[in-house]
Amino acid sequence: MTTSSVNSIMIGIAICDFLSMANIIRVEFETIDPMGTECTPPPSLSRVNFDWFLTSIHNGLRRCSSWLGVLIALVRYLVIKHVLNYRIAQPRFGFILTFISFFLSCFFSVLFYSQFHFDQISTWHPNPSCTEYSSEWSEPVYGQLCNKLYEMQEGLFHRIQLVVEAVIGKLIPCVLLPILTGLLICNLKTFNKNIGTEVFADVRHIRAHQNERITSVVIFIAITYIITELPLGIVYIVDAIWHNDSNLQWIFFLIYE
């Protein structure tokens, strides 16, 4: 399975997507009202901080997955372009690129996490019909507040973060993937013609089939990323431009949720 650098990167994509999916399932099955219900208190400060931490990890995994999709196309292009450079085709090279992408994505996730903090915004009191609580019982309700640094200049730093996130995490991968895929297809045709005069017919057929299969995977990744990530990147840009428009904030809230 790990016989090439492309397969190594695909393993990284699979791990990122699996963990992202697991977090989405967790959120769906552990829905908690941040304000509490009549007989259920709101989540504690440690719980809301932990949930925000997982959200930041989820953000980083999606970003890393999109970068790895670009790297698959780039590495495959380089493998065909420089067929004698065996180092590029080695699984170790793919794992190195995967780890670099992951740690760079973690850096941006730290910035994402640091935008907000949680503080008490109100107090929860149980309904008188809830017999498990006394009439004097109360619990703090915590809300997500933007840090002062990101509130400066009408949220300038927050808007910059949205633009950076949209460009490097959404738009650039969606632009590079079709370009690299096109270059890959062109070089693949040239490569198949060249090996036709160097190897036997059966070996040529096997290599051509393998190349076409990997290229099909790259094309599929390009299409899916464009469909899923490009609209969200546009939303980030629009949010950054009209961030202080109260009429649009509820739309952004629904999209992000």
Specify the 3-state DSSP secondary structure of 193: helix
**How do residues 233-249 score in pLDDT, each as one tens digit?**
777 777 667 665 555 55
For 5-127+135-256, which CATH class? mainly alpha
**How do residues 53-98 score in pLDDT, each as one tens digit?**
999 999 899 889 888 988 988 888 888 777 656 788 788 888 999 9
pLDDT at 245: 54
Give the list of residues 6+ apart from residue 240 with CB closer than 8 angstroms, or none. 159, 160, 162, 163, 166
Per-residue pLDDT band for 138 (boundaries 50, 70, 90) equals: confident
Write out the two tokens for 151.
């509130």
Q: What are the boundaries of each domain within the chain?
A: 5-127+135-256
Average pLDDT over residues 179-188: 79
Q: What is the pTM of this model?
A: 0.76
Cα angle 20-23-24, degrees, rounded to a multiple of 5:
90
Does position 192 have pLDDT exceeding 60, yes or no? no
